Amino acid sequence: EKLATVLAFDLGAGSGRALIGELLPEGPDGAPKLAVTEIHRFPNHAIAVNGHLHWDILRLLHELKAAIRKAFQEGYRPQTFGIDTWGVDFGLLDAGGELLGNPYHYRDPQTEGVAEELIARFGKESLYEQGGLQFMPFNTINQLFAMSKAASPKLAAADTLLLTPDLLAYFLTGKKVCEFTMATTTQLYRPKEQAWNTELMEKLGIPSRLFLEPIHPGRTIGPLTPEVCEELDVPAIEAVAVGTHDTESAVAAVPAKEGEPFAYLVCGTWSLLGTELAQPLVTPEAMALDFSNEGGVGGTYQLLKNIMGLWILQECKREWEEQGRDVSYAELVALAERAEPFRSLINPDDPTFYAPAGMVDRIRAYCRETAQPVPESMGETARCVLESLALRYRQALEQMEELTGHAYEGLHMVGGGIQNKLLCRLTADAIGRRVWTGPVEASAIGNMLMQLVALGQCSNLQVARRLVAASFPVEAYEPSGAAEWDRAYEAFKQLAAR
Ligand code: LRH
């Protein structure tokens, strides 16, 4: 017998998935368990059109619908569903509620140089004081300001802005909401005041009418529309506003020890290294070290650093495949394992690695410019990327300790990237501390947790995290090779200071 059944959609920049979560009553150990089954998985591609990069949003809607139908056809009876996606992106609706154009991909070139222009105009301190975010080229503010500067007719015609997960929920329920965790990725929200920054919007020519009052995770949005129910032949299940920003859902599913500060690394296309706080930490020190304050679930704030992540390797792999050199991640990791350690390093957060295409050559050029051996083989390239990421994690962890004054015992790694066991091992070695990994599907699980909160099955985030700890195994990695990693770290810091 099940206490509840929920459906989670977790959309990343490279792929999306639908998972069923079933809450099972207390077992012999006295703890309820969450059983998770993946029912659908689909690719998500950036589509280039006449110089712009877009998401194929209707294709994503199609996949969501297919998954809802499949869930019922396979005999599941989800009561609710929740959607989480990557941060920052959005669609614009006209006054009639129709989508104006294809949403841009956050790597669209229109944001080039925009953050720099904002900094020149308003000052870094002032912008950080207001928005509390790291100056990432993808922050929503940059996209909207770029559109405003280009006198975009879409922006002029827009009535409502819906961030990607809210947009997809709207397509399915007809209800327009703005979920809080996504709202805090825009850089147009003031975390300290808990309000939209309408003054800044006005100065930038971004209409403040576009923004709805944020609602917190755990609230219901509404049932599937009658048309969708008829099309899919399913009952009117309810959408829940979960931690709709994938990073925040993933953090909710970190099985950390209760009552103690903890450090985490959400590992996917991006790597997000951070810690959970009760209040945003918007200080000149946090700005200088480039940390973000993102709204989390359960009223938390996440002090975290966006790190370029496995994107760099994903792009290399894509490029090799385009050249007919098909390689699986498992093969790539095996090649990296056999490659010479510390042959060459990069700073993964160098802006040169942000844009798509030509990644292998950009890594080579970086190594050449910094007088290091140039990676030639796939194995050398992958080794260079993975070791460099691990060293960047160490730097971010140490910087976070400076900011919070807390010494973290180890690092919790969650998300798809932990399937790369070499990365987990290198990370433990680089930070010289224990690494705990799991769950892999952290975002989808965190998404489910907020649905269980909405259904009254979990009273709060602490109870929800207990459920994760009781339901999913955690693997531990012990550090080794301290001396050689310390040497590599010194070299890395020189590169990162370039
Ligand atoms: C990770 C992520 C990250 C950033 C980026 C755009 O998937 O959500 O937190 O916001 O995507």
What is the 8-class DSSP label of residue 237?
P
Query: Which protein residue's CA is at the shortest distance from atom 6 of ligand 1?
Result: 87
Question: Which atom of ligand 1 is nearest to 13's Cα?
Answer: 7
pTM to 2 decimal places: 0.97
Position 368 scores a pLDDT of 98
pLDDT tens track for 63-93: 999 999 999 999 999 999 999 999 999 999 9
Query: Does residue 86 line the site of ligand 1, with CB under 6 A?
Result: yes
User: Quick check: 396 and 427 in contact, CB under 8 A?
Assistant: no
* DSSP structure string for 83-135: EEE-SS-EEEE-TTS-B-SPPBPTT-GGGTTHHHHHHHHH-HHHHHHHH----
Query: Which protein residue's CA is at the shortest distance from atom 11 of ligand 1?
Result: 86
Report, as an integer, the average pLDDT of 111-124: 98
Non-local CB neighbours of 34 within 8 Å, separated by 6+ positions: 21, 22, 23, 24, 445, 448, 452, 467, 468, 471, 472
In three-state secondary structure terms, 191 is coil
Q: Which of 20-34, 221-235, 360-374 has the lowest mean pLDDT?
A: 20-34
Query: Which protein residue's CA is at the shortest distance from atom 2 of ligand 1?
Result: 86
User: Quick check: 412 and 264 in contact, CB under 8 A?
Assistant: yes
Integer Cα distance of 241 and 378 in angstroms: 42
Non-local CB neighbours of 90 within 8 Å, separated by 6+ positions: 103, 140, 143, 161, 162, 163, 164, 167
Report, as an integer, the average pLDDT of 425-448: 98
Other Cβ atoms less than 10 A from the Cβ of 327: the count is: 15
Confidence of residue 363 (pLDDT cuts 50, 70, 90): very high
User: Quick check: 369 and 466 in contact, CB under 8 A?
Assistant: no
CA 247 to centroid of ligand 1, rounded, Å = 6
Asked about 246 being catalytic, the answer comes back as: yes
In three-state secondary structure terms, 8 is strand
Report, as an integer, the average pLDDT of 11-24: 97
Q: How many CA atoms lie within 13 A of 57 on its CB side?
A: 25
Integer Cα distance of 181 and 19 in angstroms: 21
Query: Does residue 88 line the site of ligand 1, with CB under 6 A?
Result: yes
Position 124 scores a pLDDT of 97
Query: Does residue 272 line the site of ligand 1, with CB under 6 A?
Result: yes
C-alpha dihedral sign at 452, 453, 455, 458: positive
Confidence of residue 478 (pLDDT cuts 50, 70, 90): very high
Question: Which atom of ligand 1 is nearest to 245's Cα?
Answer: 8
Q: Which helix (H) or strand (E) holds 355?
A: none
Integer Cα distance of 281 and 293 in angstroms: 7
Residue tagged active-site, from 246, 290, 361, 429: 246
The mean of the pLDDT values for the chain is 97
Query: Which protein residue's CA is at the shortest distance from atom 1 of ligand 1?
Result: 86
Report, as an integer, the average pLDDT of 107-116: 97
Integer Cα distance of 260 and 462 in angstroms: 12
The residue whose two tokens read 């907020």 is: 450
pLDDT at 28 over 90: no
Query: Does residue 185 line the site of ligand 1, with CB under 6 A?
Result: yes
pLDDT tens track for 374-395: 999 999 999 999 999 999 999 9
Integer Cα distance of 267 and 139 in angstroms: 19
CA 227 to chain centre: 31
Integer Cα distance of 21 and 2 in angstroms: 10
Q: What are phi and psi of 187, to 5 degrees?
A: 70, 10
User: Quick check: 384 and 363 in contact, CB under 8 A?
Assistant: yes
pLDDT tens track for 266-295: 999 999 999 999 999 999 999 999 999 999
User: Quick check: 293 and 329 in contact, CB under 8 A?
Assistant: no
Query: Does residue 173 line the site of ligand 1, with CB under 6 A?
Result: no
Query: Does residue 270 line the site of ligand 1, with CB under 6 A?
Result: yes
pLDDT tens track for 395-419: 999 999 999 999 999 999 999 999 9
Non-local CB neighbours of 456 within 8 Å, separated by 6+ positions: none
Other Cβ atoms less than 10 A from the Cβ of 393: the count is: 26
Confidence of residue 1 (pLDDT cuts 50, 70, 90): confident
pLDDT at 29 over 90: no
CA 145 to centroid of ligand 1, rounded, Å = 20
Which amino acid would we find at residue 302?
Q
Query: Which protein residue's CA is at the shortest distance from atom 8 of ligand 1?
Result: 86
Position 480 scores a pLDDT of 97
Per the rule left: phi > 0, alpha: psi between -120 and 50, beta: everything else, 98 is beta
* Among 88, 105, 271, 303, residue to substitute to test ligand 1 (most atoms within 8 Å of Cβ): 88
pLDDT tens track for 311-352: 999 999 999 999 999 999 999 999 999 999 999 999 999 999
pLDDT-above-70 percentage for the chain: 100
pLDDT at 26 over 90: no
